[in-house]
């Protein structure tokens, strides 16, 4: 019987797959650090935060990866509007509960 992944496990698997894709297929993507990765461990509302993090990919058209201890958005330079990135980051920080 195969174990079904919960939301956190699915998110971490997706991050690993994104890292493979970015580093092998998109080495020219620009990296935008969003939030320290270790902070995600201490959240009480991790599933809500994961949903908000997924909006970074859908809205800005990039990949979430881990780089130097940060949850980072990797995307083409032309794909990011800094106002959108700022807005999403503020919304993320507002919902995080430690």
- Residue 63 tokens read as 């990949």
Domains in the chain, number: 1
pTM beyond 0.85, yes or no: yes
Task: Write out 53-97 in H/E/C secondary structure.
Answer: HHHHHHHHCCEEEEECCEEEEEECHHHCCHHHHHHHHHHHHHHCC
Tokens matching residue 31: 């990296």
Structure confidence at residue 1 (pLDDT): 57
For residue range 16-39, list pLDDT tens digits in order.
999 999 999 999 999 999 999 999
Rg over CA atoms, the chain: 13
pLDDT at 77: 83
Domain span at 23 = 7-95
In this structure, is residue 2 part of a structural domain? Answer: no
In a domain, 1, yes or no: no
For residue 70, the tally of other CB atoms under 10 A from its CB is 17
Section 79-96 average pLDDT: 91
């Amino acid at each position: 019987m195969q174990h079904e992944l919960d939301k956190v496990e699915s998110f971490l698997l997706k991050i690993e797959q994104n890292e493979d894709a970015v580093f092998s297929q998109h080495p020219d993507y620009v990296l935008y650090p969003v939030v320290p990765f270790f902070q995600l461990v201490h959240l009480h509302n991790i599933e809500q935060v994961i949903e908000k993090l997924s909006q970074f990919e859908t809205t800005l058209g990039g990949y979430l990866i881990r780089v130097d201890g940060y949850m980072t958005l990797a995307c083409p330079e032309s794909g990011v509007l800094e106002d959108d990135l700022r807005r999403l980051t503020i919304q993320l920080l507002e919902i995080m509960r430690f």
